[in-house]
Every structure is written in structure tokens, then in C-alpha cells.
């Protein structure tokens, strides 16, 4: 059985920034059909800064914890700063993940990238 850090358990039991963001201007959705985890990230960007962020995740405890942690890490960052966050950064912020659960941090990071791409796509259509 995998051993989770106290931070993983805290973010799983008390996830931050859960829910839908009604006025999101960027939405990212990723999933891993093999493990069944699905993440949806909502971002509100103003002046190139992620002002607000929420997530909905269907999956295991590690998937919920990585989603929660990534929202904490990138809230208030510029889009470029957010894109620099790696799955390793997310795992390290949670004091590590069992090797079999590292794919969850990949999903969280991919969901952010997807939301930022969605935002940029919508923004170019506005011009």
C-alpha cells in the first residue's frame, strides 16, 4: 500500500479551490483513461495574471491532492510563470508522491497548460 505524506492527505481531505468558476476565461480538461482520473481546471486571467482558479477532479486521493496543490502554487502568478511549473514541482510541494501516483502530478500540470492554451485561444479570437 502506498504511503502518502501529511501534505497529500491534507490536500485530499481539505482540498483548496474546489468547484466551478462561472466567469472563467480559460478551461482545461485532461484525463487518464487507464486510471480513470479526470481533471478540469478553471482559470480567471486578468492582465496576464491568474487571478482565480478552481478545479473539479474525479479520481484517486493523489489526483485530488495534486489538483488542489497546483491551484495553490499558481494562483497570483503570470501565465508564463504558471507554464514553468513542472509535475516535479507539484510533487515536491506535496512532500512527494509514491512512484505509482506520479502520473497524477503530470495530469495536474497538463490541466493547467490546457486551461492557459484555452485562454490564449479565446483571447486571439477576440481581436
Which active-site residues does the annotation give? 35, 104
Distance CA 78, CA 80 (A): 5
Amino acid at each position: 500500500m502506498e504511503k502518502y505524506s501529511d501534505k497529500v492527505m491534507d490536500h485530499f481531505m481539505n482540498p483548496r479551490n474546489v468547484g466551478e468558476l462561472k466567469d472563467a476565461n480559460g478551461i482545461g480538461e485532461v484525463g487518464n483513461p487507464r486510471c480513470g482520473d479526470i481533471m478540469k481546471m478553471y482559470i480567471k486571467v486578468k492582465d496576464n495574471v491568474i487571478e482565480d482558479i478552481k478545479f473539479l477532479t474525479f479520481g484517486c486521493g493523489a489526483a485530488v491532492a495534486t489538483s488542489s496543490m497546483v491551484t495553490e502554487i499558481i494562483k497570483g502568478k503570470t501565465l508564463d510563470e504558471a507554464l514553468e511549473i513542472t509535475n516535479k514541482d507539484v510533487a515536491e510541494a506535496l512532500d512527494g508522491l509514491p512512484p505509482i501516483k506520479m502520473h497524477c502530478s503530470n495530469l495536474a500540470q497538463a490541466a493547467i497548460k490546457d486551461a492557459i492554451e484555452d485562454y490564449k485561444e479565446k483571447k486571439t479570437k477576440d481581436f
